Amino acid sequence: MYRKACDGGITRGCNNLGDMYATGTGVAKEPPLAVGLYRTACEGGDMVGCYYLGNKYSNGEGVEKDEARAVELYRKACDGGEVRGCENLGFMFRTGTGVAKDEARAVELYRKACDGDKMLGCRNLGVMYDNGTGIAKNEAWAIELYRKACDGGEMQGCNSLGVMYSNGINDEAVAVEFYRKACDGGVMVGCSNLGAMYGAGTGVDKDQARAVDLYRKACDGGYAFACGALGEAYENGVGVAKDINKAAENYRRSCEAGTGEHCRKLVWTFKSGEVRPRNDESPLASALDAGCAAMDKDFCSALITLYEEGYGVPKGKESAEMRKLAEGCKNWDWDSCSMLGRSYPDGSYPDGSGSESQGD
């Protein structure tokens, strides 16, 4: 039916058929066919098709990734009244993806999406007000927008409200309820935050086992930081039987997703002798190298220990980032020296006092 409608020039039929090929619903999943159908719809003046085609270019699904082309398509969709295009175009401007970064323009686009009753746009506009990004900071407006998003079914808005009530308004019991709503709505960071509340007994009776269950749900649902929190529970035997191997497994999941703190804890399980490193830890070394390149001390510390001890990598060898930091330190760059845990080349520290000394 959708094919006949599309062949007959009804662009909605092309979009619907594209959705089926994109998701593998009722047909074999074929992203390139979906791209062709969305393109037909877009070229026929259907802005929903332009929006979906933009998503494909943005993600590189069924077509070569082209973020600048995605921007063009989101702009066309937004200008044509498809406000989901405005949401995504706002993200591109906020992050400088496929277009020059322009946070004030992102605010305008999120506002247009929100005014069009797209609740993610309201939540994202709330974030801009919350952080004072692209617009003057205004926490009252942020709360109002988060609430509108949450009430409208955008569960990320509920989580953001939870953060506001937990950290700013200081009504932790209310924060718990917003985190619970976010978690029940499938927002995994909400589950992790709710787990932290149960773990600390903040706004709710302390229940470490419940905290572990929530961290596990968030971790399995793709929120990697919660994997690290689960690892800490296993390492310390809090809310779950102590198991250092499970701790290391969960630290690794969080580390590989970019949490330096949990990279450091993973490597420490090797150093303590409690966990045997893999024979080949080169993927971990690459992840640590990338984090260290961003001047994250936890990543650098873990990277240095990995090579100094030879945990799944050649012992004593330096990674590319370690060599770069060593060269920077030789050239009197204190940040590089600090990442390596070294003094300046002459043994002095930034205050010119020479080596560290103990007070009288």
pLDDT at residue 35 is higher than 50: yes
| Residue-by-residue DSSP string for 260-275 | HHHHHHHHHHHHTTSS
pLDDT in tens, 41-79: 999 999 999 999 999 999 999 999 999 999 999 999 999
Average pLDDT score, the chain: 90
Q: Can you tell me the mean pLDDT for 163-191?
A: 94
pLDDT-based confidence at 342, cuts 50/70/90? Answer: low
For the chain, what are the domain ranges?
1-81
Q: What is the pLDDT of residues 226-276, one digit of tens each?
A: 999 999 999 999 999 999 999 999 999 999 998 989 999 999 999 999 999
Written as six digits, the tokens of 25 are 């619903």
Contacts of residue 92, Cβ cutoff 8 Å, sequence gap at least 6: 67, 70, 71, 74, 98, 99
Range 142-146 average pLDDT: 97
In terms of Cα–Cα distance, which of 169, 171, 226, 221 is closest to 193?
A: 226
Least confident segment among 83-92, 225-234, 263-272, 328-337 = 328-337
**Residue 102: partners with Cβ closer than 8 Å, 6 or more residues away:** 93, 134
Please check the confidence at residue 195 and state whether its pLDDT lies above 50: yes
| Band (180; pLDDT cuts 50, 70, 90) | very high
Kindly state the average pLDDT of the residues 344-354. Answer: 45
Q: Say what the pLDDT of residue 303 is.
A: 86
Give the residue-averaged pLDDT of 111-127: 97
What are the backbone dihedrals phi and psi of residue 103, each rounded to the nearest 5 degrees, phi first?
Answer: -70, -30
For 95, the token pair is: 């992050």
pLDDT digits (tens, 9 = 90+) for 273-294: 999 999 999 999 998 888 888 8
Which pLDDT does position 360 carry in this prediction? 34
Could you tell me if residue 186 is left (phi over 0), alpha (psi between -120 and 50 degrees) or otherwise beta?
left
Residue type, 167: N
pLDDT, average across residues 173-202: 97
pLDDT (0 to 100) of residue 359:
40
Quick one: what percent of the chain has pLDDT higher than 70?
Answer: 91
| Residue whose C-alpha is closest to residue 95's, from 130, 134, 40 | 134
Residue 358 has pLDDT above 60, yes or no: no
The CATH H-level (homologous superfamily) assignment of domain 1-81 is Tetratricopeptide repeat domain (1.25.40.10)
Q: Which two tokens stand for residue 358?
A: 């103990």
Burial 321-336 (b: 16+ CB within 10 A, else e): bbebbbebbeeeeeeb
CA distance 265 to 25: 43
Q: Rounded to whole angstroms, how far apart are CA atoms 62 and 58?
A: 11
Cα dihedral value 20, 26, 28, 30, nearest 10: 0
Q: How far apart are CA 284 and CA 271, in angstroms?
A: 15
Q: Is 83 left (phi over 0), alpha (psi -120 to 50) or beta?
A: alpha
- pTM metric for this prediction: 0.83
Other CB atoms within 10 A of residue 175 CB: 26
- State the helix-helix crossing angle for 11-23 and 47-59, rounded to 10 degrees: 30
| The dihedral sign for the CA sequence 103, 107, 112, 114 | positive
